[in-house]
Structure 1
Amino acid sequence: MRRAPALSFLLVTVFLDMLGLGLIVPILPALLTAVTADASSAVLWSGLMGSTFGLLQFVVSPLLGRLSDRYGRRPVLLASLTCLGVDWLAHATAPGPWPLLAFHALAGACAGTYTVVNAYIADIAEPDRRAGAYGSIGAAFGLGFVAGPTIGGLLGAVDVRLPFFAAATLSLANVAYGWFVLPESRPGDRTTRLTLRTANPIGAIAAVLRRPVLGRLAYAHLCADVARMIHQSTWAFFLTYRFAWDTTRVGLVLAAGALAGVVFQARAVGPVVRLLGEKRTAVTGSLVGAASLLGTAFVTEPWLLYVLVAVGVLGSVAGAAAQSWVSRSVRPDEQGAVQGALTGIGALAETVVPVTAGAAFGWLLAYAPPGLIFVAAAGCAALSALLLARTPDARPVPLR
């Protein structure tokens, strides 16, 4: 691994990005209720803001990736972080729902930092160490996911807008930190084409899907994202239905699983990939994840649920291994473009799946066993494993 200070900055960036998003989760309903003066309107605005965030991330992420190929990773990353910090500050002072919606859409547009971080990792990490680096990024992501809602709830109890000021302060402080410690990982290439066809999300994703190896990896990535979003969108509701757990117990189990995932990804992903290789690790991890989801569909005892959560943690190796595999299948001058397309695919899943899965789960509650929603998630994870297993290794070929 080259440039250890750069990796430290990337880990802090991902942690703070997720922390900033997590800070606002527990207080957004209260803030929307305060600015709309109506609880039912607040629910509608919350759903609209979530969908708009994902839509703008889908639209802008491929552009940010292409810009990082053309102008370098450092300026694009620092500019996105600055935009995000200013945007959280605007959230804190927004007087009504329409400005909040506009600022949240801008936050989605600025949330492509994950795209540039993944491209930066591909630049600085040696191929045999890349999966471990992506595992560390996943651990930082998970740690921010655990810490954000907790801190946001505490700050929101003091003042409903305080978490937004905290998120802005952390983001802008990280920009200052990066200004001094973050070197450029790869000088920009002004010959990289920046056209409407190459930078729009549909064109960027289509260019990736046209390539035989990379296309299969992208479809596998989409299936894994759909499985993950189905699980995230319905898991807490399912436990409340199946075991009559209160929110405290659900939150504790969720936090424990996330923390276990943080430790596992930080410490185990690199050694496992060096032992099995990227492909076998990705396939095995996806199958293990599918088994965990399938078991959840039919779980009847709380102790068995804890076992399934632990199995799901083991399956988390798949994401980092597949990400490393993708980066190895791409030329250095188009890492940003490909990572942007993959981020766009993930954002599309995050926009569509929660609404669809929520509606399906509600229907199942009334007419069928609700655990079937996890059978569907397990099927998506198994399909991801099948696509990975049928994907050969190949040398990078240029995007067209």
Structure 2
Amino acid sequence: MRRAPALSFLLVTVFLDMLGLGLIVPIVPALMTAVTEDATAAVRWSGLLGSIYGLLQFVVSPLLGRLSDRYGRRPILLASLTCLGVDWLAHAISPSPWTLLLFHALAGACAGTSTVVNAYIADVTEPESRARAYGLIGAAFGLGFVAGPTVGGLLGAVDVRLPFFAAAALSFANVAYGWFVLPESRPGDRTTPLTLRMANPVGSLAVVLRRPVLGRLAYARFCADVARMTHQSIWTFFLTYQFVWSTAHIGVVMAAGALAGAVFQARAVGPVVRLLGDKRAAVAGSLLGVASLVGTAFVSVPWMLYVLQAVGVLGSVGGAAAQSWISRSVRANEQGTVQGALTGIGAVAETVVPVAAGAAFGWSLAYASPGWVFVGAAAFGAVSALLLAATPDVRTAPIE
């Protein structure tokens, strides 16, 4: 197994995924307005595109994870990357919102990148090294988040569809790179059954959640996802309301935070988790995240916001540690299945939370208390920390 080229490819894949997404974030409103020729319709279609992507990802991710256990990680990952490239190309050339909806649904159905990447890392790293590897994945994610919107804004100033061509080209280039560089991490096991119970999202989640240890970790993961998505969905609106910051100021602060997080995850997560262990690092990271959210809810001066951002960066150790813990709790022949179920859980949060958090933020503004949304997010983070603390650090039984 050539582990160095494999890990390099995975890091490039995650970086390019986030870069591609970031490229188009500043451009989607202008593209949808150009396609629909109506600003109100553009907002509705943009929301529908996001929802259909999350819904299809929830429905299909468990199947993709199971397929990666049965047929191997490499073909599923390359197929997912190809679908993503097709989706961006469709954005670039489509004359109709219905065409965009069709291809974005296809991309959601093929969105197995994170599922297979997490399973692949579990295949090629020793348990004591996984937190560091997942930290590197988080760093690549953050760097893509920093670079994407900047490059997308520059390309979009030339032509509104140019960022989508660029995102498609990056995806297809990554597929070609992976075709020649990426080895298979684990040969498929054709004896792995493809039953309806394991291939549908409800059945696969039920199988995972009913296992005592893994079920608690999955519930903790969901609560952490709710807290994270609430923060991501509301943060820019909160800063605009609380401090009357410009979009440029907010963008600089977000980029600085993402860059600091990427450096921390790349350099410090591995040593911290080796020192504390997966469980204690996961609990500590969750508690730091809760402290950051509670502080943000009541922040009144801008300088305190930077301190709270730093606390949140330190808390990012929790995600890598929890992911490492989960990967140690399952057998090699079920990594894809479990990661697919967890991707489905994340898709639920990503689909539902932005709408709910937006409604809650609008309600809080009516009472001049915008920070209370972050208190709600902190409550979910606290439940996640409690679940992690109450979970024994033992290996679970295999999935049936």
TM-score range, shorter chain: over 0.9
Give the Cα separation in 2 of the matches to 1:127 and 1:36: 50
Is 1:186 aligned to residue 148 of structure 2?
no
2:32 alignment partner in structure 1 = 32
Is 1:292 aligned to residue 299 of structure 2?
no
Give the Cα separation in 2 of the matches to 1:102 and 1:382: 39
Give the alignment of 1:25-174 within 5 angstroms. Answer: 25-174=25-174
Give the Cα separation in 2 of the matches to 1:142 and 1:104: 23
Q: Which amino acid aligns with 2:94?
A: A
Give the Cα separation in 1 of the matches to 2:74 and 2:106: 20
Give the Cα separation in 2 of the matches to 1:35 and 1:22: 20
Q: CA RMSD in A?
A: 1.0
Give the paired residue count: 400
Give the Cα separation in 2 of the matches to 1:32 and 1:86: 18
C-alpha displacement at 1:368, in angstroms? Answer: 4.8
> Partner of 1:43: helix, strand, or coil?
helix
C-alpha displacement at 1:284, in angstroms? Answer: 0.3
C-alpha displacement at 1:2, in angstroms? Answer: 6.1
C-alpha displacement at 1:367, in angstroms? Answer: 2.4
- Equivalent pair of 2:72/2:186 in contact (CA under 8 Å): yes
Q: Which amino acid aligns with 2:62?
A: P
1:321 alignment partner in structure 2 = 321
> Residues 186-210 of structure 1: CA distance to partner in whole angstroms, max 9, x if unpaired?
0000111112211111111111101
> Residues 257-299 of structure 1: CA distance to partner in whole angstroms, max 9, x if unpaired?
0000000000000000000000000000000000000000000
Q: Which amino acid aligns with 1:83?
A: C
Q: Which amino acid aligns with 1:238?
A: F
Q: Which amino acid aligns with 2:385?
A: A
Q: Which amino acid aligns with 2:200?
A: N
C-alpha displacement at 1:57, in angstroms? Answer: 1.0
- Equivalent pair of 2:77/2:116 in contact (CA under 8 Å): yes
2:9 alignment partner in structure 1 = 9
> Residues 146-191 of structure 1: CA distance to partner in whole angstroms, max 9, x if unpaired?
1111111111111111111111111111111111111110000011
Q: Which amino acid aligns with 2:275?
A: L
Q: Which amino acid aligns with 2:110?
A: C
> Residues 316-345 of structure 1: CA distance to partner in whole angstroms, max 9, x if unpaired?
000000000000000000000000000110
C-alpha displacement at 1:396, in angstroms? Answer: 3.0
C-alpha displacement at 1:68, in angstroms? Answer: 0.3
Give the Cα separation in 2 of the matches to 1:396 and 1:175: 35
- Equivalent pair of 1:283/1:318 in contact (CA under 8 Å): yes
Is 1:227 aligned to residue 227 of structure 2?
yes
- Equivalent pair of 1:92/1:161 in contact (CA under 8 Å): yes
Q: Which amino acid aligns with 1:316?
A: S
TM-score under structure 2 length normalisation: 0.99
1:307 alignment partner in structure 2 = 307
Q: Which amino acid aligns with 1:342?
A: L
- Equivalent pair of 1:71/1:189 in contact (CA under 8 Å): yes
Is 1:331 aligned to residue 328 of structure 2?
no
- Equivalent pair of 2:63/2:340 in contact (CA under 8 Å): yes
Q: Which amino acid aligns with 1:176?
A: A
Q: Which amino acid aligns with 2:304?
A: L
Give the Cα separation in 1 of the matches to 2:399 and 2:324: 18
C-alpha displacement at 1:217, in angstroms? Answer: 0.2
- Equivalent pair of 1:189/1:333 in contact (CA under 8 Å): yes
1:268 alignment partner in structure 2 = 268
Q: Which amino acid aligns with 2:183?
A: P
5+ residue gaps, structure 1: none
Q: Which amino acid aligns with 1:65?
A: G
Give the Cα separation in 2 of the matches to 1:100 and 1:75: 25
Structure 2 CA distance for partners of 1:223 and 1:137, relative to 1, 3 Å: same
- Equivalent pair of 1:2/1:125 in contact (CA under 8 Å): no
Give the Cα separation in 2 of the matches to 1:63 and 1:130: 24
C-alpha displacement at 1:87, in angstroms? Answer: 2.1
Q: Which amino acid aligns with 2:339?
A: Q
Give the Cα separation in 1 of the matches to 2:164 and 2:14: 17
Give the Cα separation in 2 of the matches to 1:236 and 1:395: 41
> Partner of 1:397: helix, strand, or coil?
coil
What percentage of residue pairs aligned between the two structures are identical? 81
Give the Cα separation in 1 of the matches to 2:109 and 2:20: 15
1:250 alignment partner in structure 2 = 250
Give the Cα separation in 2 of the matches to 1:110 and 1:142: 23
Runs of 4+ displaced beyond 6 Å: none
Q: Which amino acid aligns with 1:57?
A: Q
C-alpha displacement at 1:145, in angstroms? Answer: 1.2
Give the Cα separation in 2 of the matches to 1:310 and 1:37: 42
Give the Cα separation in 1 of the matches to 2:27 and 2:344: 27
1:366 alignment partner in structure 2 = 366
> Partner of 2:268: helix, strand, or coil?
helix
